[in-house]
Amino acid sequence: MRANFSIAEENYIKSIYHLQQATGEVNTNALANHLNTKAASVTDMLKKLQAKNLLNYLPYKGFKLSREGNKAAVMIIRRHRLWEFFLVDKLHFNWDEIHEVAEELEHIRSKKLIDKLDEFLGYPKFDPHGDPIPDSNGKIDELKQLPLANLPVNKQAIITSVLNQSNELLAFLSSRNIAIGTVLEIKDKLPFDNSVEIKFKNKQSINISEQVAKAIQVNPL
């Protein structure tokens, strides 16, 4: 059966998914708050999602996404994150400007569009915030993101995001060819200033200050 949900339904599905991920538990009020709406509206929609088998919902008891609802959520998130990647990588948006626009783009439901966009972008694994992008089958690289400063020595990792978005830092990183997706490992941690000696796959090594190493988020491979 062809999945085809309204924009409102998709926003609920996505919010439930995120709240489940973040807190394990979701309740009506939390969801209403997250969606900037009222609890009564949430109840109405829960019943609708239940009727569509996207949700396991027992009045007053609680609710969570069904297997099918989960699948739908993952595909919405795939669309959102691919568009975010596009906006930053191709259109050169800043990281703080993309969310709103991606929020609209994510609702364009053409499987072909998204798969072709994915191909065009080079099958990126992480969006500009470092969150993993589900593949076309809905598989997600589970991410255990940590600051580069906390990465064990000699453990390979991939850069997934940078917390500090200052132009100075971004310019510094780009001058060193450090970007999201760069693979590196720490060869040494220098105790007197907490700077780290990192080595790229091309064997080149450079030294990074503690502040920078804390801002760079990585995902161990």
Partner DNA sequence: ATTTATTTTTAGATTTGTCTAAAAATAAAT
Partner DNA sequence: ATTTATTTTTAGACAAATCTAAAAATAAAT
The interface partner of residue 142, options being DNA, a second copy, none and the CB cut-off 5 to 8 Å by kind, is none
Q: HSE of 147 in the Cβ direction (CA atoms, 13 Å)?
A: 14
> What is the three-class DSSP state of 187?
strand
Does residue 93 interact with a second copy by CB under 8 A?
Answer: yes
Does residue 112 interact with a second copy by CB under 8 A?
Answer: yes
Question: What letter would DSSP give residue 190?
Answer: E
The candidate with the shortest Cα–Cα distance to 197, out of 208, 213, 182, is: 208
Does residue 50 interact with DNA by CB under 7 A?
Answer: no
Does residue 136 interact with a second copy by CB under 8 A?
Answer: no
The interface partner of residue 112, options being DNA, a second copy, none and the CB cut-off 5 to 8 Å by kind, is a second copy
Size of the site for a second copy (CB under 8 A): 18
Q: What angle do CA 35, 93, 145 make, to 5 degrees?
A: 65
Q: How far is CA 167 from CA 150, 195, 209, in A?
A: 24, 21, 17
Tokens encoding 41? 């509206």
Does residue 20 interact with DNA by CB under 7 A?
Answer: no
Of 18-47, which residues contact a second copy (CB under 8 A)? none
The interface partner of residue 108, options being a second copy, DNA, none and the CB cut-off 5 to 8 Å by kind, is a second copy
- Measured between alpha carbons, how far is 181 from 141 in angstroms, rounded to an integer? 14
Pair type for strands 146-147 and 216-220: antiparallel
Shortest distance (Å) from residue 32 CB to a second copy: 24
Shortest distance (Å) from residue 13 CB to DNA: 11
Does residue 60 interact with DNA by CB under 7 A?
Answer: yes
With respect to a second copy, which residue has the nearer C-beta, 112 or 144?
112
Interface residue with DNA, options 3, 6, 94, 141 (CB under 7 A): 6
Q: In sequence order, which residues have a C-beta less than 8 Å from that of residue 63 and are 6 or more positions away?
A: 16, 26, 46, 50, 55, 56, 57
Shortest distance (Å) from residue 106 CB to DNA: 15
Q: Where on the chain is the footprint of DNA (CB under 7 A)?
A: 6-9, 27-30, 36-48, 57, 59-61
